[in-house]
Structures are given as C-alpha cells and as structure tokens.
C-alpha cells in the first residue's frame, strides 16, 4: 500500500494539486483515480499479492484509516482556510464534477475527524448552503454539503432556514441539517414547513414520501410541534395511505423495442409474499416489481405508525409503558366497536385507529404465508411483532378494540408456540396477554409457564433472543402482579441466558435480581449464582452433545476431553446435570462437587471465564437485595451457606478470589442483620475456624464477627463455656498461622487476619476475664514475634502494624473494666444520647481511654 | 426510531495496537431535553456528541471481542478473511445491549451491533424499538455499504466515501426512520441508488 505523507509538511501539495494529479499524495491531494486504483491493489481486487495483502486486510485497513484520520486532525487552520478557498472556487462556478466531489469528501473528513469544532469561513458555509438548496446540483454533492454542515452542528450561528425551500428533495436535505442542531424552536418551524408542503399537495404528489420521516422525527423531538388540527388532518391521511393504496403494481416505463415507441406497461396486481395474487388491500408485505407513490406512502405510514399513535393521542407519549388499564377495559368490552357504527365518517384519530387495526389484522394473516424470499420471511417476523405492538397501543387507547384483537391473537399464539423459528415474535404476544389478560379472560399464567419453561432452555444460545427475553422480563415486572411467582420460580431457566451471555446481560440481571429473589428462593438462588460458571460449562456440554460432529461450527476447537461428553450421558452423574440444568426452582440444592471435577477441562473456556468474572457483581446485587427483607432464620441459613461454599467452588482461574472478596464482605452484613446467629451457629463457626479454610477474606470476617457478636449483650444464651471454646480455637489458629514455617504449603497469612485474630482474642478475654492472663501472654508473644519476625511470616510495615496493635491491646487488657467498655459497648452506645450528652458522651470516654493507652504506650520501649 | 448510526474499527483483542476509531457517524436529530435548564455552548454539545459516539463504539468493540472469544473463534478469524471472499453477514457476530439513562445518553437506549471483518456497525435505538426490524435493517445497511463502495479493500477509502454512506442512509434509513421494506422495495431502492451513484 502506498504510504501517504503528511501533506502539511509539503506546502506545495495544497495549491499544486489538481484532481487527477498523481504526483502528490496526502489527504488533500489523493485524487479520485488514485484512490480507486489503490482500492483494487493488494488484498482487494485480487492482484498478484492478494494472499499477503488479504492476510492482514483488517489491520492494513485500520492502519490506513489511522493515518488519514491523523492527517485530518492535524490540519492547521490556515491550511484548512486555503483548502476551503479551493472548495469555494469550485462551488462558486458550479463546477460539480468529480473534483468537487473529491474536495467535499475530504472536507467532510476534516470536519468530522475531530471532536473539537472546526471553523469554516462564513462565505464557505454560505456556499455549502446555497449548493445544498440548488435544484440542479447532483445529489451526491448535495448530500456531502449536508453532511459537512451537519457535522459542524450544533453551531452557534445557524443561518439555514427552511422557510423558502421549494421541492421536497431540498427540504429533505435541509431538514437533516436543521434536525442536527438540536434547537427546539427550529424543529417546530421545520415541522410547520413540512406540513405546509404536505397540505399544499395532492395526495399523489411526487416525493411526498420523503417528508413523512421528517414529520415522524419532528414529533418525536418536539411533541408540540404540530397544531391539533394539523395532527388530526395528518392522522386522517395516514389512515387513507394505510388502507387505500393501489393494489396494482407501478407502471414500468419500458424503453420499447427497436421498432416500437416507448410505452408504459401495466404490470398487473400486486402479489403476496408467497407469489399469490393479493386478495386484499396493499401492505408492506405486498410485493410487485414496481411500486406506485401511494404504495411508498403506505410503507412510510406503517413504519411511523406506532410512534405516531402514541405521540398524537390526546394523552401524548408521556407514559407509553405505564399500565393504564382503567375500569373501562373490563366493562366496555363490547362486540360493538366503533367501526360497526359505520356509515358515519369517524373523527380522524379514530379513523386512523380503525385503519391501523385493519392493517394489523391483515399483516397477521399475511405473516402466515410461506415467503418465497429469505428477506421477506425475516420481514414477516418483524411485521408480526410490529402489528402486535400496534394492537397493544390501540387496545390501551381504546379498550373496545380488545375483543376483536383477542380473537385474532389467540389463534396466533397457538400457531407461534409450535414453531421455533418464530420464537422472538412470541414475546410481544405474551406481553399483550399480560397487559390485557385480565379483561380478556386469558390464562396469562399458562402463557408464562410456557414462555419461562420452554424458551430459555432451548434458545439460551441466541444472543438477540437472550437480550429481548431479559428486556421482556424487566419490562413486564410492573405488569406481572400476582404472576410474579412464575417469574421467580423460573430463575434457574433465566440464569441460563445469563450464564451463556454474561457480558451484555450482567447489568440487566443486576436490575432484575431484586424482583427475582424472595425468602423462598434465596438459598437456592445463592447456590446457583455460585455455580453459574459451572452452569455455563454444563450448557456448553449440552449443546455439544446435541450436535453431531458435522454440525459443529468450523471454528469450534473441541475441547480435548471427550470424557466430558461421555460423562454427560453417564447415568451416575446424570441426576446432577439434570439438577444443574433444571428449568424451575426445585426447593433443594444439590452439592455439585462431582460435576466440578468432571467439568474441569471446560473451566478454561473463555465463556466460562467471562461468566466467572460476572459472578462477584451479581453476588453483590443479590446480597443487597436479600438484606432488605431477610429475617433471622434466612440470615443464618445464608451465613452458613456462605461458609460452606467458600471452599466448594468450581475451579475457574481467578474465580475463588473474586467470590471470597464478596463473601468476606457479606458475612458481617448478615451477622449485623441477625446478631444472635453467632451464638446459634457456634458449632458450625467453630468447625469453620478449626477446619481447612480458603482465602483470608472470609476467615477475617468470620473471626471479626465472633469477636463482635459472641457476647451476652447480643444473645443471652451466650455462655462462658462458649467463649472459652472459641478462645481456644482462635488461639490455636493464631499460633498456627504465625508459627508455620515458610516452607510449608500453607499460603502466607495476611497481617489483617493476624490483627483481627489478636483483637478478637482480646475481646473474648475481656468478656471472660479468667482468660486475660492467657491473652496477655499471647499478645506479648505476638509483639516480640513481630519485632523479630520469622523469615517469610510477616515483614516490614506489616510487622510494625501487628506490633502496634498488640501493644494497644495489651495496654487495654491491663484495665479490664475499660477493656470491657471499649470492646463490648452496650447497645445503648449507639443511641444519639450517648453522643450528645456531655457527661455520658462516648467520645469523652474514648478520649480518656486513648490517653491512657497512649501514655502507657509512650512508657514502653519501642 | 434510530438515534445514531455509526461505523468504527474493530480490533480482535484489547491487546492489539491502536485505538477504537469511529470512521463514520450520523446523529439523527439530537436529544436535548425540552427543558434543558442550562443550554451549553454549541462547542460543548458537539464535543459531548462525539464522546457519546466513541463510548458506544468502545462498548460495541468490547462486546464483539467477548462474544468472539466466547465462541472459541480464534482471534485472527475476523481479520484474516480476505476481502475478496464473499462476506457471510448471517455468520457475522451480532448482538444487542442496553445503555442506561445518563450513560452516555440522557434517555435509556438499546444498541444493536454487527461485526464484519474489521468493521463494527451499530444502531443506537430508542429503548422500545422493534429489534427484529432494527437487526435486519442493520444487516441490510452493512450489506449495501460493503457491496457498493467496496469498503473492505484494504485502504482507508471508507473515510473518503461519506457521500456513498449518506446516499444509502437517505434511502434506507431516512432521518433515522426504520422502514418495513420487503425485498422488492429494497431492490427498487438499490437500483435507484446505483443509478444515482457512479461506482
């Protein structure tokens, strides 16, 4: 690839270049021809060196773009000024040839490549605007002018106005610039301009279709842009365009044969997507070889219909998703709809609603036809979704549509649920039943049951469906009401989406978790969250087991562990797999340890690792939701679960450490929620501190919680014996972690854990004062140990911190009553009185104590 | 309604040199809330828009990278495909994600993206847009862009083909309006575009 120089260093290039010149290169000077020529060089058009060039195609592309962007950014103002002068010269003499196109393309790049504003000379901007509005200028140039002007916006001094624009094409171009300004007033006057043109024309006027998207945009940006009577008039016409477009194909202007004169040829009626002659009115699913203008308007009208219905309804679009079921819905459910009173022309808004309803009904019918083209079959699905969404809007605006709508949605649902190809279209139908089910006597629960049981298990691997499904759940929350239970018990299925697509869905699930979890499912859900990476691996295996070797995508380098696949079918672990892949909450949680070992070869897969990285975030969301409602029993259960699972996790690189950090921070939170749990679960806690333990985070927080909550002031059942038992266990633990030789396989104990252990031992001693001599001895040992630490145990600053803490604790223990006051403050100490009353104030007491401690510390050497 | 359309570079891994670059972007209208208490200077507004677009591009890039890794597709796969091979858009990685309100747009938005060779294409949509339509429109735009200006030849001429992109958007996504176009309509528009554009 030719290297482009930075033209800025060569002043000659600026003025010296003409279009077509091959001497110079650089942003300003690359000619159209040379650009095209480069376009077909290596890797592109298949030159001799195609292989080499193709190999790095992507990168080369990026490098080229990089250098062009840099040049565009580095252009200095004076250079830009000269370049603009050249552009101006071309535009002024209306030289609209390739040279002007090339220059404007470069100008666009220069203006758009930087995030800082580029200032163009006023005359240049004015010329761009003139060219934009010129009726004779080629489209290519006009679009470039519009793009340059748009890229400069918002600008402080816009001078473009749509007031005197003739011709829809110019208005279309000017609108794109004006809309980019972001000025409400301008948007409104643009709306008025467009309306004026729309009103002044015959319905069949040429190019009217270019104006409808502008109207749609204007009303979405400034809902008050159109006056009420204008809205009504347009609603009426939209209804006409929807319902009464021509059913004949457009006229083909054949040039005629050699001997015949040019003539127009009628191509006959439009057809359905399956090739049959259309049986009813024209819709976006009607095809032909050519289309008439009103058929184009039909397409535009349907494309903007839903937004228009919402924006133009008297209530406006302020709350399109609020559940606005009124009492009306049930009572006015009448077979007699507005339409049956035909004969009288309807008011425009109702006219549009009625036509929209007929249109949607026809789309539902058309979507059941077998499309001849793949693109049309995709469009059928999109149309079906849109039709159901429009019907939903209609029924919300006028409940009298409900009866007729339901009579076509019921069979539709039956049709769709049997066909996996249409699964994405099921969601809006289900949402419709959810919103209107009560009034329509539809068993929404059955619909949900099907939705939540079948779809996630079968389609978890489709990223788009996963996104839509989760969004569906989020959007449906306010509507679910008494059906929330179905959603809640389906969390194992929903988690499949999460396990498979964790990067885009994590934030959605963080938002969804508070609604998913309740006291009944919390324990099971925590287990499943901790097993989420394992679920990813199991889903991977499930997919692989379903595919035959030939069906596997070519890039799938099958993991070198065929044993996994065999085991998946093995009856011994089948039960565990089934449990992990269950569709609904089972109320129990099996220990999956055998699966961890079995799935170990998959633990390095990128998907599993990605999921593991998401789990800590999800755990935090889970706990913050659970602590809102958990009672003592649940808090105890979760605390124990947390201890149990801290060393029973699927081994994914980095997973355990991340999970431990969250579990470590959550254990104290659970204890705070229900302090007696330390006394109640004393046996389990003793086992935990005495047994083999994982990382320091969980251990430190457990030890801290023992020191904090093992006291009669939190639970009267706390006995001296219990305190003594804990003291002994922790003493042994401290001994173990500080004495172990560096050669042992145990991980190095963090100084935080040592420090927490010493403090907890001191706290316990202050509550059972017989222990004070033992604690003092231990602390002075720690102090001297920290002064001359064993190699590899604790060192440097850490040792200093341990020493200081040991000294402070020793001093406090010298005054047992003070120690008890400091280490086991009464619950009353947290009351405001303690902090306000100068005589009993806690700060006063603490200051006195710290003076004592400091004085004592000052007396001691080192 | 589409809020932004953008094309940007796509690196296969974070480690690859260079930065994620936006090659083309188009805002369809802006989202200044009607009661913006403090209108900022035009320059700041423009800066904000550019930053918003870059934020979306970076997220798309990282979503695409993660999806590719998760599929076990080797990192070189996306890039090494020769640009002469027909691009199979239906096999290209694609996805969607949500942008919460305030990050980076005021309103909540949905992003639909498609990765083709070393290019990312993305639509930023209103939160409750018809995603099936958005997805097929994005594929259509990508196909047209790839076919017409020969974007994928290993030169940087996409940057200098703004007119082509504008011409395609003006027809297939006018002012950000997603259109229900059946195959015959698409063909008609394609013919119209080809006639108006010298290759």
Residue A476 lies in a domain: no
Q: Indicate the angle between helix axes A606-626 and A502-516, nearest 10 degrees.
A: 20
pLDDT value at A303 more than 70: yes
Q: What is the rounded CA–CA span in Å between residue A96 and residue A86?
A: 13
Q: Is residue A774 part of a domain?
A: yes
Tally Cβ neighbours within 10 Å of residue A604: 11
B window 42-61, beta carbon within 8 A of A: 42-43, 45-47, 50-51, 54
Euclidean distance between CA atoms A273 and B138, whole angstroms: 22
Q: How far is A114 from chain B (nearest CA, A)?
A: 8
Q: Which of A422, A442, A462 is the last residue of a domain?
A: A442
CB atoms inside a 10 Å sphere around CB A216: 23
Cβ contact A112–B97 (<8 Å): no
Domain endpoint, select from A395, A418, A442: A442
Q: Where do runs of H (alpha helix) occur along A137-211?
A: 139-152, 168-179, 184-200
Cα A740 to Cα A792: distance, rounded to the nearest angstrom? 9
pLDDT bin (cut points 50, 70, 90) of residue A250 is: confident
- pLDDT value at residue A48: 31
The pLDDT score that the predictor gives to residue B35 is 54
pLDDT, one tens digit per residue, over A344-399 is 578 889 999 999 999 999 999 999 999 999 999 999 999 999 999 999 999 999 99
Chain B nearest C-alpha distance from A361 (Å): 16
Q: Which of A441-450, A629-638, B35-44 has the lowest mean pLDDT?
A: B35-44
Burial class (CB in 10 A: 0-12, 13-18, 19+), A306: buried
Residue written as token pair 């000619």: A31
Instruction: Tell me whether B104 touches chain A (CB under 8 Å).
Output: no
Lowest mean pLDDT, pick from A163-177, A838-852, B15-29, B122-136: A838-852
pTM for the model: 0.86
pLDDT band for A569, please (50, 70, 90 cuts): confident
Region B106-113 average pLDDT: 94
CB-based contacts of A89, cutoff 8 Å, min separation 6: none
Stated as kind and residue range, the H or E segment containing A627 is none
Q: Are strands B2-9 and B94-99 parallel, antiparallel or unpaired?
A: unpaired
pLDDT at position A141: 93
Least confident range of A211-225, A394-408, A691-705, B181-195: A691-705
Phi, psi of A578 (to 5 degrees): -60, -40
pLDDT over 60 at A202, yes or no? no
State the pLDDT confidence band at A162, using cuts at 50, 70 and 90.
confident
Cβ contact A646:A660 at 8 Å: yes
pLDDT of residue A143 exceeding 90: yes
**Which of B16, B45, B78 lies nearest to residue A182, judging by beta carbons?**
B45
> If contacts are CB pairs under 8 Å, which of residues 84-113 in chain A contact chain B?
101-102, 104-106, 108-109, 112-113
Model confidence band, residue A7 (pLDDT cutoffs 50, 70, 90): very low
Residue A442 phi, psi (nearest 5) = -100, 140
The residue of B28, B46, B123, B137 whose CB has the most chain A CBs within 10 angstroms, and thus the best one to mutate to test that interface, is B46
Q: Confidence class of residue B133 from pLDDT cuts 50, 70 and 90?
A: very high
Q: What confidence score (pLDDT) does residue B51 get? A: 94
Distance of alpha carbon A653 from alpha carbon A613, whole angstroms: 10
**Strand-pair partners of B126:** B109
Please report the residues numbered 801 through 830 in chain A whose beta carbons come closer than 8 angstroms to any beta carbon of chain B: none
How distant is the Cα of B34 from the closest Cα of chain A, in angstroms? 7
Contact A289 B174 (CB under 8 A): no
Give residue A838's pLDDT band: very low, low, confident or very high (50, 70, 90): low
pLDDT category at A588 given cuts 50, 70, 90 is confident
Lowest mean per-residue pLDDT among A143-152, A571-580, A732-741: A732-741
DSSP B26-86: EESS----TT-SSPPPHHHHHHHHHHHHHHHHHHHHHHHHHHHHHTT--TTHHHHS-TTSP
Other CB atoms within 10 A of residue B13 CB:
10
Please indicate, yes or no, if residue A136 is contained in any of the structural domains. Answer: no
Q: State the Cα–Cα distance between residues A659 and A620, nearest whole angstrom.
A: 10
Contact B180 A43 (CB under 8 A): no
Spatial separation of the C-alpha atoms in residues A542 and A546, rounded to whole Å: 6
Task: Give the phi and the psi of residue A451 in degrees, each rounded to 5.
Answer: -60, -50
- Looking at A191-205, A276-290, B126-140, which range is the least confident one? A191-205
Of B79, B81, B153, the CB nearest to A39: B153
**Per-residue model confidence (pLDDT) at position A156:** 60
- Nearest-Cα distance to chain B for A357, in Å, is 17
pLDDT grade for A15, boundaries at 50, 70 and 90: very low
The predicted structure's pLDDT at residue A741: 54
Phi and psi, residue A695, nearest 5°: -65, 165
Has residue A471 been placed in a domain? no
Is the pLDDT at A284 greater than 90? The verdict is yes
Q: How far is A727 from chain B (nearest CA, A)?
A: 49
Q: How far is CA A573 from CA A578, A597, B85, in A?
A: 9, 11, 46
Task: Using pLDDT thresholds of 50, 70 and 90, give the confidence band for residue A630.
Answer: very high
Among A425, A442, A459, the domain-final residue is A442
A214 touches chain B (CB under 8 A): yes
Token pair belonging to B106: 């005021």
CA distance A813 to chain B (A): 53
Q: How confident is the model at residue A658 (pLDDT cuts 50, 70, 90)?
A: very high
Residue A11 pLDDT > 90, yes or no? no
Please give the pLDDT value at position A749.
72
Other CB atoms within a 10 A radius of the CB of residue A204 amount to: 11
Q: What is the pLDDT of residue A22?
A: 37
Using a 10 angstrom Cβ sphere, with 0-12 exposed, 13-18 middle and 19 or more buried, the burial of residue A209 is buried
Specify whether the CB–CB gap between A212 and A308 falls below 8 A: no
What pLDDT was estimated at residue B33? 52
Residue A448 binned pLDDT confidence (cut-offs 50, 70, 90) = confident
**The predicted structure's pLDDT at residue A263:** 54
Task: Give the model confidence (pLDDT) of A508-552 as tens digits.
Answer: 999 999 999 999 999 999 999 999 999 999 998 888 887 765 555
Better-scored residue on pLDDT, A625 or B46? A625
Residues of B in contact with A181 (CB under 8 A): 30
Residue A12 predicted with pLDDT over 50: no
Categorize the per-residue pLDDT at A566 as very low, low, confident or very high, splitting at 50, 70 and 90: confident
Question: Quick check: A51 pLDDT over 80?
Answer: no
Which residues does A401 contact at the CB level (< 8 Å), separation at least 6?
A337, A353, A357, A391, A394, A395
Residue of A65, A108, A373 lying closest to B183 (CB–CB)? A373
What pLDDT score was predicted for residue A200? 78
CB nearest to A385's CB, from B71, B132, B161: B132
Residues of A with CB below 8 A from B115's CB?
none
Q: Residue B39: what pLDDT? A: 61
**What part of A 345-374 touches B (C-beta under 8 Å)?**
373
Residues in chain A: 862
**Strands of B2-9's sheet, edge to edge?**
B22-27, B2-9, B119-126, B109-116, B94-99
The candidate with the shortest Cα–Cα distance to A567, out of A523, A524, A598, is A598
User: What is the tens place of the pLDDT at every residue in B158-174?
Assistant: 888 899 999 999 999 99
Instruction: Count CA atoms closer than 13 A to A93's CA, side-chain side.
Output: 9
Cα dist. B187→A77, A291, B152 in Å? 44, 11, 22
Domain around A835: 719-788+797-852
pLDDT at B171: 94
pLDDT top residue among A606 and A66: A606
B82, with CB counted inside 10 A (0-12, 13-18, 19+), is: middle
* A185 interfacial to chain B (CB closer than 8 Å): no
Task: Please identify which residue in the block is written with the tokens 């990026």.
Answer: A62
Tokens coding A321: 């998703």
Q: Report if residue A71 sits inside a domain.
A: no
Predicted pLDDT at A843? 64
A320 domain-assigned: no
Residues of chain A above pLDDT 70, percent = 78
Q: Specify the number of domains making up chain A.
A: 2
Cβ distance A171 to A191 under 8 Å?
no
What average pLDDT does the structure give for chain A?
81
For residues A38 and A68, what is the distance between their CA atoms, to the nearest angstrom?
14
Measured CA to CA, the distance from residue A147 to residue A634 in angstroms comes to 61
Q: Give the model's pLDDT for residue A184.
A: 83
Chain B, window 133-192: residues with a beta carbon less than 8 angstroms from a chain A beta carbon: 133, 135-136, 150, 152-163, 166-167, 170, 174-186, 188
| Residue ranges covered by each domain of chain B | 2-196
**B155 contacts A154? CB cut-off 8 A:** no
Give the Cα separation of A59 and B17 in Å (integer).
Answer: 10
In a domain, A455, yes or no: no
Comparing A319-333, A741-755, B157-171, the range with the smallest average pLDDT is A319-333
Largest CA distance in chain A: 122
Q: Which residues of B touch A222 (CB under 8 A)?
A: 34
Predicted pLDDT of residue A243: 94
Q: What is the CATH T-level fold of the domain B2-196, as seen in this structure?
A: Beta-Lactamase (3.30.450)
Q: Which of residues 84-103 of B touch A (CB under 8 A)?
A: 84, 94-98, 100
| Residue A148 burial by Cβ neighbours in a 10 Å radius (0-12, 13-18, 19+) | buried
Contacts within 8 Å (CB) and 24+ apart, A327-331: A328/A399, A329/A399, A329/A402, A329/A436, A329/A439, A330/A438, A330/A439
Q: What is the average per-residue pLDDT within A292-321?
A: 80
Which residues in A lie closer than 8 A to residue B74 (C-beta atoms)?
555, 557
Query: Where does residue A523 fall: left (phi above 0), alpha (psi -120 to 50 degrees), or beta otherwise?
Result: alpha
- Ranked by mean pLDDT, the top range of A60-69, A647-656, B142-151 is A647-656
pLDDT score at A855: 64
What is the distance between the alpha carbons of residues A330 and A440, in angstroms, rounded to a whole number? 8
Mean pLDDT across the stretch A94-115?
Answer: 91
pLDDT category at A495 given cuts 50, 70, 90 is very high
Chain A: residue nearest B186 by CA? Answer: A375
In angstroms, the separation between the Cα of residue B193 and the nearest Cα of chain A is 10
Q: Which two tokens stand for residue A440?
A: 């329509």
User: What gap in Å lies between CA B12 and CA B118, rounded to an integer?
Assistant: 8
Residue B146 scores a pLDDT above 60: yes
Residue A361 falls inside a structural domain: yes
pLDDT tier at A695 (50, 70, 90 boundaries)?
A: low
């Amino acid at each position: 690839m030719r290297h482009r120089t930075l033209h800025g260093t060569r002043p000659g290039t600026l003025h010296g270049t003409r279009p077509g010149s091959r001497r110079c290169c650089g942003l300003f000077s690359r000619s159209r021809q040379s650009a095209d020529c480069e376009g077909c060089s290596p890797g592109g058009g298949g030159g001799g060196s195609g292989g080499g060039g193709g190999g790095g195609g992507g990168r080369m592309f990026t490098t080229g773009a990089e250098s062009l962007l840099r040049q565009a950014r580095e252009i200095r103002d004076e250079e830009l000024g000269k370049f603009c002068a050249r552009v101006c010269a071309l535009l002024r003499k209306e030289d609209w040839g390739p040279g002007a196109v090339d220059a404007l393309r470069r100008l666009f790049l220069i203006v758009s490549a930087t995030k800082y504003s580029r200032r163009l000379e006023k005359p240049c901007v004015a010329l761009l605007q003139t060219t934009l509005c010129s009726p004779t200028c080629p489209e290519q140039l006009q679009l470039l002018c519009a793009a340059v002007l748009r890229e400069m916006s918002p600008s402080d001094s816009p001078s473009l106005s749509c007031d005197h624009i003739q011709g829809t094409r110019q208005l279309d171009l000017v609108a794109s610039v004006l809309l980019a300004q972001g000025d409400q007033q301008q948007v409104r006057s643009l709306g008025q301009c467009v309306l004026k043109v729309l009103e002044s024309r015959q319905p069949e006027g040429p190019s009217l279709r270019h104006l409808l998207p502008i109207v749609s945009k204007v009303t979405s940006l400034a809902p008050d842009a159109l006056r009420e009577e204008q809205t009504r008039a347009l609603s009426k016409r939209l209804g006409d365009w929807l319902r009464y477009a021509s059913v004949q194909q457009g006229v083909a202007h054949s040039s005629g044969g050699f001997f015949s004169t040019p003539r127009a040829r009628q191509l006959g009626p439009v057809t359905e997507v399956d090739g049959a002659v259309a049986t009813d009115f024209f819709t976006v699913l009607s095809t032909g070889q050519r289309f008439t203008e009103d058929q184009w308007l039909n397409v535009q009208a349907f494309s903007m219909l839903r937004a228009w219905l919402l924006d133009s309804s008297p209530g406006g679009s302020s709350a399109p998703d609020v559940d606005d079921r009124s009492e009306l819905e049930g009572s006015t459910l009448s077979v007699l709809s507005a339409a049956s009173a035909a004969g009288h022309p309807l008011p425009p808004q109702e006219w549009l609603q009625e036509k929209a309803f007929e249109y949607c009904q026809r789309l539902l019918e058309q979507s059941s036809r077998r499309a001849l083209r793949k693109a049309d079959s995709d469009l059928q699905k999109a149309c079906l979704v849109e039709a159901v969404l429009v019907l939903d809007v209609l029924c919300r605006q006028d409940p009298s549509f409900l009866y007729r709508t339901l009579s076509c949605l019921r069979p539709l649902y039956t049709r769709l649920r049997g066909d996996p190809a249409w699964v994405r279209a099921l969601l809006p139908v289900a949402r419709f039943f959810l919103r209107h089910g009560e009034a329509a006597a539809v068993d929404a629960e059955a619909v949900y049951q099907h939705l939540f049981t079948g779809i996630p298990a079968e389609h978890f691997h489709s990223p788009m469906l996963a996104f839509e499904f989760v969004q569906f759940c989020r959007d449906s929350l306010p509507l679910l009401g008494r059906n929330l239970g179905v959603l809640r018990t389906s969390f194992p299925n929903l988690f499949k989406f999460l396990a498979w697509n964790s990067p885009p869905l994590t934030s959605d699930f963080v938002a969804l978790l508070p609604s998913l979890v309740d006291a009944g499912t919390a324990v099971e859900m925590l287990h499943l969250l901790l097993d989420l990476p394992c679920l990813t691996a199991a889903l991977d295996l499930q997919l692989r087991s379903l595919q035959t070797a030939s069906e596997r995508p070519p890039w799938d380098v099958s993991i070198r562990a065929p044993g996994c696949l065999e085991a998946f079918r093995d009856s011994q672990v089948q039960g565990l797999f089934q449990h992990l892949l269950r569709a609904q909450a089972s109320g129990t949680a099996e220990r999956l340890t055998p699966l961890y070992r079995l799935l170990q070869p998959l633990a390095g897969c990128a998907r599993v690792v990605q999921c593991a990285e998401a789990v800590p975030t999800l755990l935090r969301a889970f706990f913050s939701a659970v602590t809102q409602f958990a009672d003592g029993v649940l808090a105890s259960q979760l605390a124990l679960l947390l201890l149990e699972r801290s060393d029973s996790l699927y081994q994914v690189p980095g997973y355990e450490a991340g999970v431990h950090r969250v579990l470590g921070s959550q254990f104290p939170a659970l204890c705070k929620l229900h302090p007696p749990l330390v006394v109640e679960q004393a046996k389990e806690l003793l086992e935990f501190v005495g047994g083999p333990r994982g990382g320091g985070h969980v251990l430190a927080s457990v030890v801290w919680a023992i020191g904090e909550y093992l006291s009669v002031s939190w639970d009267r059942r706390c006995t001296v014996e219990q305190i003594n038992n804990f003291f002994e266990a922790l003493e042994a633990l401290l001994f173990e972690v500080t004495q172990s030789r560096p050669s042992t396989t145990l991980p190095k104990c963090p100084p935080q854990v040592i420090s927490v252990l010493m403090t907890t031992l001191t706290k316990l001693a202050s509550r059972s004062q017989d222990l004070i001599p033992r604690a003092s001895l231990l602390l002075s040992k720690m102090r001297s140990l920290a002064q001359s630490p064993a190699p590899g145990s604790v060192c440097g600053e850490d040792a200093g911190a341990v020493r200081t803490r040991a000294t402070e604790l020793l001093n406090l223990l010298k005054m047992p009553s003070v120690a008890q006051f400091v280490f086991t403050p009464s619950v009353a100490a947290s009351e405001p009185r303690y902090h306000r009353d100068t005589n009993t104030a806690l700060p006063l007491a603490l200051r006195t104590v710290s003076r004592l401690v400091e004085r004592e510390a000052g007396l001691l050497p080192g | 309604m589409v809020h932004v359309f953008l094309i940007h570079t796509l690196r296969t891994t974070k480690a690859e040199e260079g930065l994620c670059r936006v090659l083309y972007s188009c805002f369809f209208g802006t989202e200044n809330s009607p009661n913006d208490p403090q209108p900022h200077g035009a320059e700041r507004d423009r800066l904000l828009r550019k930053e918003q677009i870059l934020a979306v591009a970076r997220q798309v890039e990282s979503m695409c990278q993660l999806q590719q890794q998760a599929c076990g597709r080797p990192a070189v796969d996306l890039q090494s495909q020769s640009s002469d091979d027909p691009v199979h858009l239906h096999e290209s990685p694609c996805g969607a994600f949500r942008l919460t309100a305030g990050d980076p747009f005021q309103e909540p938005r949905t992003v639909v993206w498609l990765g083709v060779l070393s290019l990312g294409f993305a639509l930023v949509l209103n939160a409750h847009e018809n995603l099936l339509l958005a997805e097929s429109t994005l594929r259509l735009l990508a196909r047209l862009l790839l076919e017409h200006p020969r974007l994928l030849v290993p030169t940087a001429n996409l940057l200098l083909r703004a007119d082509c992109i504008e011409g395609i958007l003006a027809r297939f996504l006018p002012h950000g309006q997603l259109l229900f176009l059946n195959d015959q309509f698409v063909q008609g528009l394609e013919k119209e575009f080809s006639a108006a554009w010298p290759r």
